[in-house]
Amino acid sequence: MQNQSDALSQLLTAAIDEKEEIRTKAQAEINNLTANNLDQFLLELSKKQSSDLESYQIRQLCATLIKNIITSSENNWLNLNQDLRNEIKKNILLTLINKDINIKKAAGLCIAGICKVELPRGLWNDIFDILINASQNNDIEIKITSLITLEYIYEDISINIIKKDTIINLMNNYYSLLSEKNNEDKSNSQLIKTCLKSIIKFIPFIEIIIRDEKSNLIFFNMIKTYMLNSDEEIRQLSIIIFSGLISSYYKYFESYMDTLMNTLFELLDKDSENIKKACFEFLLSIGEIEVFLINNTYNVSENYFFLNKYKNQISPFLLKYIKTDNFDTDELTLQKYCYYVINLMCQCCDDKFNDDMLSYYKDNIESNDAIIKLSALYVFLALLETKEKQKIFHIVKQALPMLSSFLLEKQTLFHVRKLIAVIMKSISQNFGFLIIKDFELFQKFMQLFLTLLSDSSKEIVSLILNSSNKLIKHVKTNEFTTSNELSQYAESFYQILLSLAQNIELYDNNNNVPMNALYTLGTFGQHVANDSQTLTCNVFKFLTEMFSKTLEKNSFNNEQMRLDYQQYLCASLSSFLANKKCMERDVRKLFNYLIQSFEQRKEIYDEGISLVGSISYYLQRGFITEMQTFNKYLLHGLSQTDSLDICKASLITLSQIITYSEKDFSIYVGEYLKLILNILADNTIVRDLKPRCLQIISDLFMFCRQEVFKYFVEIMKMIGGAIQACQINYGTEMDTIDFINYIIGLKEAVLETLSCIFSAVQDEGKTEEFIPYAKGIVEFINLILREEGQSNIDIIRSCIGIIADFCKSYGKNIKPILNANLLKDCIEKFKANEENMEDLQMKKFISWAQQCISDVLFV
């Protein structure tokens, strides 16, 4: 046994050797032990980690290996017998009493890794009691280590894992630790800091505490006490806790906000810069929630919002500290914090706040003091985010000549010029839809852009490229004559953009001017009017030849630059193809170059796959002749489910090819449908791919229905699985904005697919084949229609449409499974939406649907 232990020590020592050859050989042996002797290997690692005879580096490595092995595959741990797992856990827990803090932290990470696997399965629930008891130990180092370990565990587990009683016990433990005599004792001060840091990670788990008014008050008062502690870090941590609390539990704060804000204003007035930043971070947390509430059309009065309520007290601090800055740093300065708070308050406060900020801008923009001028520009930039775009647009117009002069004057401080360039970008983004309707103003912008694209600063040029790109995107060739105005600048813009795109000296990681120029070229080519077609066609041809140069290995300074050019050229050329301002022979030549790039890379890349989708749009049914060449690459892309970008691009491109090739795609249905159904069936695949797979099925039923009907039963089985996924209960650990949006997207995709399938079934006279699935679909639709808070008008429309189709096809046979009252209420709700009823097509739809449903239910 001793020989075994010595051999492992030698192996671990080799694994951290300075020589790469020795390390590589040792890693291969570690991999072999993991694969073939895992139980004994993990046990020996845990012994060495807890042994004071081993070096610090070896013990650290043991901890890293244990956690990586456990978390890389949960079965690595779960397949061990219970006694062995307990022995390993015991060894790791013993390490928590080591004197070296780094070794103890490593042990804590191991414990968190085990908890990540065991706690969701109801195992090792007593770990919390073990750590709570350890935190009550007389040894302050053991207290601190237990709190750090809890912090690691919180980071690794989902919010529904910890039981209610355990949450209460953990919170009581924090109360106990924070109530100990601490004052100026340095060791106790460190304990308080560790305790507060642990609470920060605990915040997502404590809704049960926050919901209870009495517990909430105790917790609030406990943390608030530390906002005025003599130790700056403790004050900062307590403010961070309140930032986390308001982000998670905004609606529970109203009764405490007066007290909290008064303390905050006291700190903003007199405390250090770090504390002031933490206070502004708290205000940012409030603002982000309140802007979210506004943007998601919650019917909440402005008077309810905290920032609006306290705007008169907040504004003086904002206007005081926005005048401070260090021109030599890109760090998040106090001035920039003020800007971010003003930005959010412009979006969620009433007109008085915006008027006050506007007055500050007007009073200070022409100041000779560069710092004050800079502060006025920050305020103006924040104002551009205001809800009332029309109201401030005249200020934007008035400001343009002055901003232009500042930008063009080389004597102007660089930071001022850079900030004005950022403002121009924001104006283009927020007011572009108004600028393009004012031809004189539009011309001024375009002329300014052309001038500044020759600036000596890469940062300024990069920002102006972004500005022009955002402004041009507002041009609609079918709505405004601005696209003709754009044509006036076509030759000048193309010339300077191509010059920038080819200048590899401007290529760097921070301000990649050539790549931005290529992106802007694509936008310009997409939106310029048809009277520039010849010029645009020549630019497309030139870019195609640029792409061919990327196939030459030594044509750029380095390999990364070559691949970057290849990818950005793909994006630019895709945009040109959107308006079809190019010759077919050049498009087919580009396709051949693209295939060569796939072969050369020995892999596909998402920008290249997406460009093929654009080529299929240009060639329409003519693309089918290229499909034989592209087929293997697209199939490979769809199989790359571990690479979200590639697989998603492949799905989008497949959808485009099916749509534009129409029935000609029928010969490929079998092999692609098999892949799509496999993705839908595999629960380990990234969920975001599922709605796109359903879109492919919709496309196939629309354009290749004869061939796809052969797989009807398999498809309906997969859709049944998607319907079940849509019905997951909210309130689980996946109850996040992203997950809820995914479920909404999945519902929309399922309903769209069902609608396409049923339409095909009707057209082919096969409605009888759909009957076995009708009841389950109606129950699914009833569930959606009951979910007032989680449904949206598009989903309701799809539901009503499917029910109407069922009624039209099956008549009174469908009546027993329909919910008459629910359908009636939803139709009335749909009709009550003024926006819907202003749309003629929508009015026709709801009239038709109501008639179909009424004929079955009420006649």
Residue 634 has pLDDT above 90, yes or no: yes
Residue 736 has pLDDT above 70, yes or no: no
Residue 790 has pLDDT above 80, yes or no: no
Q: Residue 345 corresponds to which tokens in the numbers above?
A: 């308050």
Cβ 790 vs Cβ 740: under 8 Å: yes
- Within 13 Å and on the Cβ side, how many CA atoms surround 72? 10
DSSP assigned state of 489? T
Q: Residue 368 corresponds to which tokens in the numbers above?
A: 């000779």
Residue 388 has pLDDT above 80, yes or no: no
DSSP string, 253-311: -GGGHHHHHHHHHHHHHHS-HHHHHHHHHHHHHHHHHHHHHHHTT----GGG-HHHHTH
- Which distant-in-sequence residues (6+ apart) come within 8 Å of 454 by Cβ? 496
User: To which residue do tokens 């926050």 refer?
Assistant: 210
pLDDT tier, 53 (very low <50, low <70, confident <90, very high otherwise): confident
Between CA 674 and CA 659 the distance in angstroms is: 19
The pLDDT of residue 731 is 42
What would the pLDDT profile of 116-150 be if each residue is shown by its tens digit? 999 999 999 999 999 999 999 988 999 999 999 99
pLDDT tier, 834 (very low <50, low <70, confident <90, very high otherwise): low
- First CA to last CA across the chain, in angstroms? 87
Q: Residue 341 corresponds to which tokens in the numbers above?
A: 């708070």
Between CA 228 and CA 606 the distance in angstroms is: 53
The pLDDT of residue 597 is 94
Between CA 129 and CA 567 the distance in angstroms is: 54
The pLDDT of residue 653 is 96
The pLDDT of residue 530 is 67
DSSP assigned state of 388? -
The pLDDT of residue 478 is 43
Which range (244-248, 273-277, 412-416, 796-800) has the least confidence?
412-416
Residue 1 has pLDDT above 50, yes or no: no
Cβ 454 vs Cβ 495: under 8 Å: no
Between CA 500 and CA 367 the distance in angstroms is: 35
Q: Among 299, 298, 219, which Cα is nearest to 253's?
A: 219
Mean pLDDT computed over every residue of the chain: 87
Q: Give the amino acid at 778.
A: V
Between CA 784 and CA 780 the distance in angstroms is: 6
Residue 551 has pLDDT above 70, yes or no: yes
Residue 688 has pLDDT above 60, yes or no: yes
**pTM flag (> 0.75):** no
The pLDDT of residue 734 is 41
The pLDDT of residue 92 is 92
Between CA 504 and CA 511 the distance in angstroms is: 12
Residues in the chain, how many?
Answer: 859
The pLDDT of residue 475 is 78
What would the pLDDT profile of 227-275 be if each residue is shown by its tens digit? 999 999 999 999 999 999 998 888 888 888 999 999 999 999 989 999 9
The pLDDT of residue 484 is 66
Buried b (16+ CB within 10 A) or exposed e, 291-315: bebeeeeeeeeeeebbbbbbbeebb
Q: Taking residues 826-846, report their average pLDDT.
A: 75
The pLDDT of residue 580 is 77
The pLDDT of residue 481 is 46
What would the pLDDT profile of 305-319 be if each residue is shown by its tens digit? 899 999 999 999 999
How many other C-beta atoms lie within 10 A of the C-beta of residue 214? Answer: 8
The pLDDT of residue 326 is 61
Between CA 789 and CA 90 the distance in angstroms is: 48
Which range (102-116, 775-789, 827-841) has the least confidence?
827-841
